[in-house]
Structure 1
Amino acid sequence: MTAARLSPRGLAAATAAFGIWGLFPVYLHPLSGVPALQVIAHRVAWACVFIFGWLLLRGELAGVSATLTNGRLVARLTLTALLISGNWLVYVWSVTHAHIVDTSLGYYINPLVNVVLGVFVLRERLNGAQWTAVALAGAAVAYLAVLAGRPPWIAGTLAMSFSLYGLQRKVISVDALPGLATETLLLLPLALGYLAWCQAAGGAALSLERPGIGALLIGSGLITAIPLFLFAYGARALPYSTLGVLQYIAPSLQLLCGVLLYHESFRPALAAGFALIWVALLIYAADGLWRSRSAPRAARA
């Protein structure tokens, strides 16, 4: 067993990252009175401040400078910036409009959407267990759509936007933090322009009259940056299969927040749809763990 598999710090960092993402609804819920677009604009602006501050302290701004001089990279990071900001917008709107359970569904099915994109975009091959997991997830989504009388657009948008974001970042040759710094920098003019317009129109949420709301808006940048730093550390110290299991911490906590803290509906019929998703994920995760453990044995044979 490698040292990476035994890294307690890596495990703690990754667990903390997914835990923060899972509890993000608790942070966002007090901002329900602030328009989602304004929350995102603040999130972009303050995340840019904190991320660039961190890179400056570590002397790692050269990576951002090198990225900005590459026109092709900038174009591709512009696309990823739009994808992740769209994902953030739908997520914030959903949390502040009593759809936390829907967001958890989106991040439960996200790994399986990744699998489907891998097949159709990257031409990856699936084994029987993976196809079974994808089929069960598809059946669950169809069932939930019939149950609701409409497609589960929140879950679908979150899963697809984040999967497309991950797919693009997978093929872009730039490290995680310089890439995120560049993305926030590209979004910064739009964010600042919108916030300036809100201020001029008298609808700015950041004001001395509401210091608590202002602190949450400023802190949204920090709460964006911290789990990304923790995840980057954990991803380097742990095997990918371990990260694949830990990622379900976030949607599980989101589901608990929605049902237990904010009393969103989770009737038995809805739980049945989630149960299908959980079975699909169990098959997918078990298959991934089995293959990750059998690969070293095959290499030694």
Structure 2
Amino acid sequence: MRFLCLHGTGTNAAILRQQFISIHNQATDLGHTFEFIDGFYTSGPGAGIQHYFPDGPYYTWWPEPTVENIREACKKLREFFETNRHTPFEGILGFSRGSLLIASYLLFHNAETPHEPLPFKAAVFLCGGPVLPVLESLGVEVSPVTWDWDRRTKRALRERASVKAILKSGRDRWTTPGENGDNELNIDPFAEIDPRNVFGFDSTKLSSRLRIGIPTLHVYGKVDPRFPAAMQLLHLCDPETRLSFMHEGGHNIPKNPHAAGNIAHLLDSLARKATAAGDNTLLPN
């Protein structure tokens, strides 16, 4: 399967390629290929990125997270697929904000153009989540508890991914509260999740027309501050077609060979699921 790969905010295609290298090497051995593209807008470096990649350039997918800007990013992504329709991508993969763009694209598609073919058959979310304003714009109820988790976990990610946290706490930074109001999150990643209360989000109220039905793979870290968002996105997707993998890290792509191998084989399983689902999702030539 050929995957289009979307990086996190404040990085670039080359950085994602390096972050993804362990999975990439094992997945290419299974016959899969990956193409990495830069975001649509220039930006400053993401939290902690300058420590590892000081030279940039840095890109993002939208300048400010407004519904209008995210719609525009989805439009640009659609135009990219149309430009490359003669060399189609069967799958799409995103890390962090790249995942948010993919999720938003699928939700807008399901709500507004469900009878049009999608330009890909399967999606991979690495440290993903939904964009809550997008959900609200589509009539989905987002509770105050869900909003509170969103604010707290974004603050925690910003503080714990910072250069200061990297230098102070190293690998322990993901479980070490930082500054600026970052408090202990007290998340048990092994606790059973009630679909009616996914960190405040009632996924059972999601209409069938909005639920993401294509095969999906969700990869998330056990100590990622944004773990609640990853679970909310997981529950926006069809349980019959979704796969998931929890690694030992935080808001990062694992490089451990064992974890990378497991993810590569799940990518292979995802490709088989997508192939079995048929070829009617791709844009016509």
Larger Rg belongs to: 1
Higher relative contact order (CA 8 A, sep 6+): 1
TM-score normalised by the chain length of structure 2: 0.27
Higher strand share: 2
Higher helix share: 1
